[in-house]
Structure 1
Amino acid sequence: MRWEEQLSRAGWRITMPRRVVMRVLERAARPLSPQEIHARGRRLHRSLGLVSVYRALMVLERAGLVRRVHREDRCDGYVLASPGHHHLLVCRRCGRAVEFPGAEDLSGLIAQVERRTGFRVEDHLLQLVGLCGPCRDL
């Protein structure tokens, strides 16, 4: 299913800022900050505002189309999200982010955490940081 269909089915409109943000992220080789998305997006549509980029990212994240990546510089980046539940591997050197599937793999750990803490886990985010193959070989 195309992202436009997915967004429409979720009840959201297809707007110019959302189109531009998706187009920028489709071309990105690494997670981009909202400011980087804005700068690249302005090359595609001169009137794109930074506030519009933030709003578009919020909607696209809620719709499951983009995923937030926590970067070491403490500025969140964004990448396109694959359908289903995935986690991220992020290269510390080049910043490349790669998704890998797995909600069921954590069920035992989540159950253990719930027993020990009394929390009821409703969602989780797993991001592993290291060096990708090309960066390891440098």
Structure 2
Amino acid sequence: MGGVRRTPQRTAVLETLGRCREFVSAQELHALLAGDGSAVGLTTVYRALRALDRAGLVDVVRDETGERLYLRRPTDEHRHYLICRRCGRSQPVDARDVEAWAERLGETTGFAELEHTLELSGVCRPCRRPTGATPTTGATPNDAADAGR
């Protein structure tokens, strides 16, 4: 856990978050920890998530209500995600263009140490599928692959 003091609670939070495939709220993460038998309190979960965020170990997005959602960052690099507004499914996107744009913006404005937050949301393919659609009634082959994510 580079850059953050290792405690049993932070380790439990990071390990549990690492098992999540989608962004989760602090409350959802707390429930997962409790389900695993961990006695980490909700306040401790919030503190651990803040520390992990500052250390660059988690990605953070906001949902439509403004609540912060967390996902363990698989690499040291900054990432951007597409988030489905209906089901919450997240998908990392190739952010090279965004990073290049931010770098150019810093150069043209004279700003240094530029940081940014970019949130992209939409409706994923499975959520766009008409109600009652099945693979034989209009779904594409990619829909089945997307549904498994």
- Is it true that 1:42 corresponds to 2:54 in the alignment? no
Q: Report which of the two structures shows the higher radius of gyration computed on alpha carbons.
A: 2
Name the CA distance, whole Å, in 2 between partners of 1:57 and 1:132. Answer: 27
- Shift in Å at residue 34 of structure 1? 0.9
* Match in the other structure for 1:93: 86
SS in 2 for 1:95: coil
* Match in the other structure for 1:76: 68
- Shift in Å at residue 119 of structure 1? 7.3
Q: 1:98-121, CA deviations, whole angstroms, 9 ceiling, x for partnerless residues?
A: 222324544346645885xx6726
* Match in the other structure for 2:117: 125
TM-score by length of 2: 0.71
| Gap runs ≥5 in structure 2 | 131-149
SS in 2 for 1:36: helix
Q: Which amino acid in the other structure matches residue 66 of structure 2?
A: R
CA contact (8 A) 2:33 2:39 kept: no
- Shift in Å at residue 28 of structure 1? 2.4
Name the CA distance, whole Å, in 2 between partners of 1:135 and 1:26. Answer: 25
TM-score by length of 1: 0.76
* Match in the other structure for 1:4: none
SS in 1 for 2:5: coil
| Gap runs ≥5 in structure 1 | 1-6
Which has more helix, going by share of residues? 1
SS in 2 for 1:129: strand
Q: Which runs of 4+ in 1 moved over 3 A?
A: 103-115
Name the CA distance, whole Å, in 2 between partners of 1:26 and 1:109. Answer: 29
Identify the match of residue 10 of structure 1 among 3, 6, 9: 3
- Is it true that 1:60 corresponds to 2:52 in the alignment? yes
Report percent identity of matched pairs. Answer: 35
- Shift in Å at residue 38 of structure 1? 1.0
